[in-house]
Copies of this chain bind each other. A is one copy, B any other.
Amino acid sequence: MELYSQEFFMNEALKQAKIAFEEGEIPVGAVVVCKNRIIAKAYNQTEKLNDVTAHAEMIAITSAANSLGSKYLSDCTLYVTLEPCLMCGGALFWSQISQVFFGAADPKRGYQQIGPSVLHPKTKVQGGILAEESTQLLNEFFKKLRK
């Protein structure tokens, strides 16, 4: 049970996405929450790090594990502004994370295209949290990119 609302934490993830936006990265942000406390914040850095694996979720998982001193995130919740891709879904499976809350759906590359079996059966999932804000930021980014 979180003391803060889902919207509170998703807003923190959105702040991360906005940092990505400012840095010319596809604006996706994530935070990992454990016992009502943010233990990791990350944003997409594929351009800056020149690394296709540097999605917000991947960096957040690694950072959260460092913070906990445990590679399993069994009592943690990931808030991410966009539905995770297959790579990130696969990483979330391995992490045994307790909950995944995401903002906008990603009908093109989201893991749910493949099926819910991507994540660990114990992981609770909910999408659509502040989805509009996330979509708006992404649309703004791609609009700017096309100019």
Contacts and interface: CB of A to CB of B under 8 A. Distances in A.
A119 to B, nearest CB: 10
Contact of A51 (B46, B65, B89, B118): B65
A139 interface: no
Interface string A65-101: 1100111100000000000011111110111000000
A135 to B, nearest CB: 21
Q: This chain: how many copies in the complex?
A: 2
A89 B58 CA distance: 14
A61 interface: yes
A5 interface: no
A107 interface: no
Interface residues of A, number: 28
A1 interface: no
A89 B65 CA distance: 22
22 contacts: A46-B71, A50-B65, A50-B69, A51-B61, A51-B65, A51-B66, A51-B71, A52-B65, A52-B71, A52-B72, A52-B91, A52-B94, A53-B62, A53-B91, A85-B94, A86-B86, A86-B93, A87-B87, A87-B88, A87-B93, A88-B90, A114-B114
